[in-house]
Amino acid sequence: MGYSRLKNGPSLCCLLYGFSTASAAFSKHSSPLSSQSFKHRPDSASSKRSPQYTSAENTTVWVIQDTYEGQSFFDTFVFYTGTDPTNGMVTFVDQQTAFSSSLAYVTSDNKVIMKGDNTTWLSAGVNRSSVRISSQATYNTGLFVLDLDMAPWGCGVWPAFWTLGNGTWPWNGEIDIIEGVHDNEHNQVTWHTAPGCNLTSTTNFTGTLVQTNGVDNLQCNAFINNNAGCGVTEWSRASYGPYFDSQGGGVFAMKWDTNGIAVWSFYRAAIPQDIIQGLPNPSNWGEPVAELAPSSCNITEYFVDHSIVFDITFCGDWAGNSYATSGCPGTCADILMDPSNFVNASWIINSLKVYKSATLLGGSSDAVSRHSVHDLRILWIAAVVATLQTLLCSL
């Protein structure tokens, strides 16, 4: 076999030369991505840049791995029908029931809708129907970018967008990216883990540490503090609740790699252009709102094989226990009976995209930003062909 390769080398070399020349011509004349003007987050941190994505030798970029959107959104999710582990007054319905009762569907303009039942009057003590789904795919690191018009809120409502490690909880970790209760205005990012993973308070992020009895929750250990985990509350009123929805929603992004787990949020008018273009570059986004650094937590040990989860529950351990101080009327059990209280308990999702990291040898972030993902693939193929050409022509 080795002999035949040597024998056919020169003619293959010529073919490769022609292909590499054509590829180079394509990449040279391909159009750059269209430019759009977007207002960036009004935060002094947005001017800061992290050097971790570029070097004289190579560039790390995030390339698309999975896209969840439109009519096919639910094809790769599983509907959870078990008991709510947070003791909510909720019944999670199966896929057929969710579709037939319009608790889950996709609109004609490809908006993904998931919601709690907002049409049925209930007797006292009866659970309200809702939806919880988990992705069939599991992930170990990645960049997760959720674009949504609305996240659920309202008295007694407790929604979450999170990732959950397979196996016995909490040994493979839990990452709560969007979570809140009632009509709060500030999103909370939280990590729940086995003992030994801790939040580093000196890490640069813009949010505020969640406390228990006046003490910062730095231990992510799910077995203490009534499973409070280690959490960070976002500073922005546009990160959760009615104000977030009134601004047309926005984007939440979670970067999970060996450098840590960080979360950003952007309301609609402040979404970075690189996200719009499908070439996300977290080093351009300034300080995250929350970050779990590897200095006090072994990321690859505590977060393993995560599925993506969306849910909407009612009352329960957080929304139920905090109801008396929420400013909402009556009790959580009472308010659960009237469907009109849940008209805002809906997810409206444009897309969820998961990216994986890739390294471009000898590249730069500026060069990457001038090419679409398709162009980058052509450049990569051309580089491989050029290498083969050099090897074969030298024979």
**Mean predicted lDDT score pLDDT of the chain:** 84
Confidence class for position 178, pLDDT limits 50, 70, 90:
very high
**Position 370 pLDDT exceeds 80:** no
Q: Are 90 and 128 in contact (CB under 8 A)?
A: yes
Sequence ranges of the domains in the chain: 58-359
Give yes or no: 179 in active site: yes
**Position 129 pLDDT exceeds 60:** yes
Fold classification of 58-359 (topology level): Jelly Rolls (2.60.120)
* CA angle (277, 246, 98) in 5-degree steps: 80
**Position 85 pLDDT exceeds 90:** yes
Catalytic position from the list 57, 179, 234, 291 = 179
**Position 30 pLDDT exceeds 50:** no
Cβ neighbours around 49 below 10 Å, total:
14
> So what's the pLDDT on residue 161?
98
Cis before 170? omega within 30: yes
Residue-wise pLDDT for 223-233, tens only, equals 999 999 999 99
Q: Residue type at 181?
A: V
Catalytic position from the list 174, 234, 287, 291 = 174
Half-sphere exposure of 369 (CA within 13 A, CB side): 16
**Position 21 pLDDT exceeds 90:** no
> So what's the pLDDT on residue 264?
98
Cβ neighbours around 261 below 10 Å, total:
25
Distance between CA 178 and CA 161 in Å, rounded? 5
